[in-house]
Amino acid sequence: MTIRHHINDDLLLAYASGNLAEGWSLAVACHLAMCPECRRNLATAEAAAGALMENLAPEPGPDDSWERFKARLLTEPQDAAEPVKRPAKATLPEPLRSYLGGDLDTLKWRSMGTAKQIVIRTNDNETQVRLLRIGAGTPVPEHTHGGRELTLVLTGRFHDEVDSFGPGDLEDADGSLTHQPVADPEEDCICLAITDAPLKFRSRLMRIIQPFLGI
């Protein structure tokens, strides 16, 4: 598995400091479980922050992010560069399996237009998290974004106007991108998708049924 599309530095640092909503954090954690390069980058960032921590003091104020970041560095084991272990036959990474209560072969999908989905419940009021299953060779209706959308490929592949994305690849999209992802013809594409605003579809029909689909 060769991963070509990674977490950007801002997202990685926000994750390390504990400043991401739960939905975004889940996407980052799953990418880290699949990507040794980003695990090494996270370990390097945390080690550098730990070295600076002894010489820097936070400015007084109500924001406790510094203290939370410092506590995380002091309490978490620095093993982010180590491969993340999973059961021999597991398809989905942790922590996603724990959120879903099982692996891919135990899931019950709900039809959603040309795809299937499972809504994943989180405790934040910022994001919507879904597991999507796009049939082999099937396009997703063309759309842009009302906010941010992170899409992490778990199995299969899709391509769009930006590039081709395979297992472990993360696409970070916003309102500047209009695209129509299409699953490659060889197999279904299963993705973890996180949004913080509804999608904006080009199709009038999709806009009419969008409230019923919850997207």
Q: Identify the pLDDT of residue 39.
A: 96
Distance in angstroms (rounded) separating the CA atoms of residues 105 and 95: 16
Place of tokens 């950007």: 8
Given the candidates 3.40.50.150, 3.40.190.10, 2.60.120.10, 1.10.287.180, the CATH classification of the domain at 96-213 is: 2.60.120.10
Maximum Cα interatomic distance, the chain, rounded to a whole number of Å: 59
Do 189 and 182 form a contact (C-beta atoms < 8 A)? no
Burial 159-178 (b: 16+ CB within 10 A, else e): bbeeeebbbbbbbbbeeeee
**80 contact partners, CB below 8 Å, separation of at least 6:** 32, 39, 40, 42, 43, 46
Q: Identify the pLDDT of residue 69.
A: 55
Do 174 and 118 form a contact (C-beta atoms < 8 A)? no
Name the β-bridge partners of 94.
none
Distance in angstroms (rounded) separating the CA atoms of residues 51 and 93: 31
Place of tokens 């135990």: 106
Give the torsion sign (CA, 179, 187, 210, 100).
negative
State the pTM of this model.
0.81
Q: Identify the pLDDT of residue 82.
A: 47
Q: Identify the pLDDT of residue 84.
A: 47
Do 157 and 166 form a contact (C-beta atoms < 8 A)? yes
Angle value at C-alpha 96, between 86 and 214, nearest 5 degrees: 155
**27 contact partners, CB below 8 Å, separation of at least 6:** 150, 152, 170, 192, 194
| Residue ranges covered by each domain of the chain | 9-75, 96-213
pLDDT tens for the chain, 215 residues long, are 799 999 999 999 999 988 999 999 999 999 999 999 999 999 988 887 776 666 665 566 556 655 665 565 555 544 444 444 555 678 999 999 999 999 999 999 998 877 899 999 999 999 999 999 999 999 998 999 999 999 999 999 999 999 999 999 999 999 999 999 999 999 999 999 999 999 888 877 777 877 766 66
Q: Identify the pLDDT of residue 46.
A: 84
164-165, strands of its sheet edge to edge? 164-165, 158-159, 182-183
